[in-house]
Chains A and B, each alone.
Chain A
Amino acid sequence: MRVTLTIALSGLLAMPAYAAQFDVDVQIPQLKVAEYHRPYVAVWIEGADSKAVADLAVWYQDKDTKEGHGTKWLPDLRQWWRRSGRTLDLPVDGVTGPTRPAGKHALGFDSTDPRLAKLAPGSYTLVVEAVREVGGRELLKIPFTWPATAPQSGKAQGKTELGAVALAIKP
C-alpha cells in the first residue's frame, strides 16, 4: 500500500524531492574456455544523441603486469572508449575498479549521486559493454527516462560475454 501511495504522490508532484533508487545488475557468465581472463566491463549512460553523459562503472586490469599496464587494452571497450574513456584521466574515483569474477554484480546509485543529479529530463540509455582477453565483446542497452516519475525496469540478456543485465529505477 505504501508503495502505491508513493507512486501516486510522485506522479502528482512530477519531481520527487527525495532520492530515487537507480539499481543496475550485471551478470558476468561463467565460461568453460581453455584460457579465461575476467572481462573488462564498462557501464555508462548515453543521451539521445549517443553521447556518454555519465560513467557508472569501469572494471579493468588497473595494475602493472608483466604484459604491461592494463590500460593498454581499455580501447577494446570500443564504444565506451570512443564515447568517454579516451577523454578521461584514469583511474576515476568512484568509477574505475579492478576486474570482477563471474557472477551477479549489483550496482546501486541514487538520484543524489552527482552523475544522476546533473542529468537533464529526457530519454537515456543504460549501456553495458564487456570485452574479454582472447575472448569476445558484447554490448547491451536498456532505455529509460529520467527523472523517474514511476518505477521503471528493463532487462537485456547477453549471449556471450554478458549474462542478464537489469535496470530498476524506484522513484
Chain B
Amino acid sequence: MKRFLPSTMAPAIAVALALAAALPITAFAHKAWLMPSQTVIAGENPWITVDAAVSNDLFYFNHVPLRLDNLAVIAPDGSKVETQNAATGKYRSVFDLELTQPGTYRIGITSHNLTGRWEQDGKPRRWRGTAATFASEVPKDAKNLEVGESISRVETFVTNGSPNDTALKPDGIGLELVPVTHPNDLFAGEQATFRFQIDGKPAAGLDIEIVRGGTRYRNAQDEIKATTDANGEFSVTWPEAGMYWLDASALDDKVSMPQAKQRRLGYVATLEVLPQ
C-alpha cells in the first residue's frame, strides 16, 4: 500500500481529518481501534472482516475512520499477507481477511511520522512526512520550526484453530506489546500477563489503561489501570467477558532525525475476553 502523502495545499478540513485519523492517537482524546468480526475461528480458509475507526466511545464508529495506509497483517508463519475489499468511508475503514493458515494472525496499523510546525508570512504552517521528504517540503529558513516524531501501533489478534506465537514476535521498534498470556486465550475471571517494550527493551513504569467496550450503555468508563514493573510486565484479571481496548503511551527523546526534539510512542490493542 502507498504511504499517505500529505499536501500542504490540501483544504484545511481534509488535513484536519487526516491528522485526527492518522496522527499519534494518544495526542488526541479519541480512541483508535481495530474491531475484528471474530477473534477465535476454525475451519478451511475462514474469512473475517475488520472495522477500523477512531472514536470517543467504544466500539462505535461515529467520529472518523482509521486510515489503512499502514495496515499490515502478519500470518501465523510470520509472512505478510494481503487483505481484501478495503474501503474507507465517512466513519470507518473496513477490510476482509482470509485466514488461509491455522494459527494466530497479528493485524496492525503502525504509523511512523514526523510532523513539523512553523510560521510563514505570519501564518501557521504544518507538515507531515518522512525524513526523506523533510528537506524538500520544509523550507530551510522556516521560522520557529518545531519538529516532532511519533510511532504508534494499533493492533488486534485473530486465531484460526490453535493459537501460536510466530506473528506475535515484536519488531523492536517503538512501543510494543509482547504477550505472555496469548491474546486469543483470555477468559473472564482469569489473570492475563503482558509485557511492554520500547525499541526491544522492557518498558518499566508504563501506565496502562484498559476499557471494556459498550461504553454507550453505562455511566462510567470503568477503566482498569495498571503500571508495568521492572520487566515491563503487568497483569490484569478480566472482570467479565467482552471486547477490551488496551492503551499505553510514552514520551522519549530517541528521535531518528536531529531536527526532532521528542518522540511520542503509542500502543493500542483490541482484545476479546471470552466467558467461561
Q: Given A78-B274, A82-B185, do A69 and B44 touch, yes or no (CB 8 Å)?
A: yes
Whether B43 contacts A71 by the Cβ 8 Å rule is yes
A 127-153 binary contact with B (CB < 8 Å = 1; else 0):
000000000000000000000000000
Q: Considering only CB atoms, which chain B residue lies closest to A72 in the complex? A: B43
Q: How far is the CA of A70 from the CA of B46 in the complex (A)?
A: 11
What secondary structure prevails in chain B residues at the interface with A? loop
A72 touches B185 (CB 8 A): no
A75 and B42 contacting across the interface, CB-CB below 8 Å? yes
Interface band, chain B: 10 to 19
Instruction: Please provide the chain A residues from 58 to 92 with a CB less than 8 Å away from any CB of chain B in the complex.
Output: 68-72, 74-75, 78-79, 81-82, 85-87, 90
- Residues of A contacting B192 with CB < 8 Å? none
CB contacts under 8 Å to A, within B227-276, are 274-276
Q: How far is the CB of A44 from chain B (nearest CB, A)?
A: 16
Q: How far is the CA of A87 from the CA of B42 in the complex (A)?
A: 11
A-facing residues in B151-166 (Cβ within 8 Å) = 159, 161-163
A71: B residues at CB distance < 8 A: 42-44
Contact B276 A72 (CB under 8 A): no
B274:A86 contact, CB within 8 angstroms: no
User: With an 8 A cutoff between CB atoms, is B208 at the interface?
Assistant: no
Cross-chain contact B44 with A86 (CB below 8 angstroms): no
Query: In the complex, A81→B41 CA distance in Å?
Result: 10
> When each residue 81-106 of chain A gets 1 if its CB lies under 8 Å from chain B and 0 otherwise, what string results?
11001110010000000000000000
Q: B40 near A: Cβ within 8 Å?
A: yes
A68 to B41, CA, bound (A): 12
| A81 CB, nearest partner CB in chain B, Å | 7
Neighbour of B40 across the interface among A69, A75, A79, A90, CB < 8 A: A75
Contact of B46 among A72, A78, A81, A82 (CB under 8 A): A72
B157 shortest CB reach to chain A, Å = 14
Closest-CB distance, B198 to chain A (whole angstroms): 33
Q: How far is the CA of A69 from the CA of B45 in the complex (A)?
A: 10
Q: Which of B27-46 contact A (CB under 8 A)?
A: 40-44, 46
Distance from B8 Cβ to chain A, minimum over Cβ atoms (Å): 48
Instruction: Determine how close the nearest CB of chain A comes to the CB of B188; give it in whole angstroms.
Output: 11
B276 touches A87 (CB 8 A): no
Most buried by A among B44, B163, B187: B44
**Residues of A close to B162: CB separation below 8 A:** 86-87
Distance, CA A82 to CA B272, complexed state (A)? 14
Q: Which residues of B contact A87 (CB under 8 A)?
A: 162
Q: How far is the CA of A31 from the CA of B161 in the complex (A)?
A: 31
A86 pairs with B161, CB closer than 8 A? yes
Beyond A86-B162, A86-B163, A87-B162, whether A79 also contacts B276 by CB under 8 A is: yes
Contact of A86 (CB < 8 Å), options: B42, B275, B276: B42
- Interface pair A68/B43, CB less than 8 Å apart: yes
User: Which residue of the partner chain, among B40, B43, B44, B275, contacts A81 with CB atoms under 8 Å?
Assistant: B40
Q: List 16 A-B contacts (CB under 8 A).
A: A68-B43, A69-B43, A69-B44, A70-B43, A71-B44, A72-B41, A72-B43, A72-B46, A74-B43, A75-B40, A75-B42, A78-B276, A79-B276, A82-B274, A86-B159, A86-B161
